[in-house]
Structure 1
Amino acid sequence: MKKLLQKDKNNRLIVKKFEIQRIILKSIILNLNYSQMIRWKAILMLTNLPALSSEIRIINRCIVTGNKKRVNKLYNYSRMVFLKLIRSGYISGIKKSSW
């Protein structure tokens, strides 16, 4: 569990490191005012970036259990841990919704 959380933290640091470079290269690729050669070089530079620097590679995991399924986006807890925290009173202001 700790190994997976540490791996996820390292992946997030890699994504953060290359984020600005990816945004710049993508904007160059989509800008039709540049010549085709410049845009082609930007595509090549984008493909040479590490695969782990892509934002798609990030996996949301629960802080407590390390589970990657059913993770709440606001609190980064899995469904079961989130319910336990609400019932024990650590998170207040949450009500059960009824349709």
Structure 2
Amino acid sequence: MKKLFTKDRENRKSVKQLELKHFILKQISINSNFLKTVRWNAIYQLSDFDKQGSKTVLSNRCVKTINKKTFHKFTNFSRTVFLKLVKSGQISGLRKSSW
């Protein structure tokens, strides 16, 4: 379990760094104020980027259980953990409703 947390943290850190690099190269390739050779080099470097630096590689996981199937994107918890927290009253302003 600890291994998945560290692996996920490392993946997110590398994606963040590569995303910044990708953004800079993209802006250089679009900007017409740079020389043509500089823009072509930026486009060439963009084509060499691997898919590991993509956001789609990351998967959202629950903070407590590392479950990724029932992940709730607004709370970073899985559905079951979120319901337990609401029932116990640890999340203020929310309670389980029934009608």
Higher relative contact order (CA 8 A, sep 6+): 1
Read off the aligned partner of 2:8 and give its amino acid letter: D
Give the % identical residues: 47
RMSD: 2.5
Task: For residue 7 of structure 1, give the secondary structure of its aligned residue in structure 2.
Answer: helix
Alpha-carbon contact 1:63-1:77 (below 8 Å) kept: yes
* Residues in 1 aligned to 2:97 and 2:48: alpha-carbon distance in whole angstroms: 48
For the residues of structure 2 that align with 1:70 and 1:37, how far apart are their CA atoms? 48
Aligned length: 97
Query: Is 1:49 matched up with 2:49?
Result: yes
Deviation at 1:55, TM superposition (A): 1.8
- 5+ residue gaps in structure 1? none
Amino acid at match of 1:72: H
TM-score, structure 2 length as denominator? Answer: 0.76
1:24 aligned partner = 24
State which drifts further: 83-92 or 65-74: 65-74
Q: Could you tell me whether the CA contact under 8 Å between 2:86 and 2:95 is conserved in 1? A: no
Question: Bigger CA drift: 77-86 or 10-19?
Answer: 10-19
Following the alignment from structure 1 to structure 2, what is the Cα–Cα distance between the partners of residues 40 and 56?
A: 26
SS in 2 for 1:59: coil
Is 1:92 equivalent to 2:92 in the alignment? yes
Structure having the higher strand fraction is 2
Question: Which residue number in structure 2 is paired with residue 13 of structure 1?
Answer: 13
Q: Aligned partners of 1:96 and 1:26: how far apart in 2? A: 47
